[in-house]
Amino acid sequence: MPAHIGGKGKVAGYRVMAHMTQGDVASYLGITRQTYNMKERGINAFTDKEKLKMRTLFQQRVDQGLTIDAIFFQ
């Protein structure tokens, strides 16, 4: 998958492919939509626990083979 999808970062791209809003993922992570938005835009970092939860979520909804590296670092 390209690093950017429609001008959005990879995390946003996977979120869109999962058919989820920022509010949906924020609720899944137990944070506010505003906090999630800042993390998705790279202003604040996702915690390791959030990265693990997001990997599980995107594996279930997008691709079972996704890794944390693929979502956040490659």
16-41 tens-digit pLDDT: 999 999 999 999 999 999 999 999 99
| pLDDT value at 60 more than 60 | yes
As a whole number of angstroms, the distance between CA 65 and CA 35 comes to: 27
Closest by CA position to 9, among listed 37, 35, 41: 41
pLDDT tens, residue by residue, 42-59:
999 999 999 999 999 999
pTM: 0.86
Q: What are the helix and strand counts (H, E) for the chain? A: 5, 0
User: What domains does the chain contain, in order, with CATH numbers?
Assistant: 10-73 (1.10.260.40)
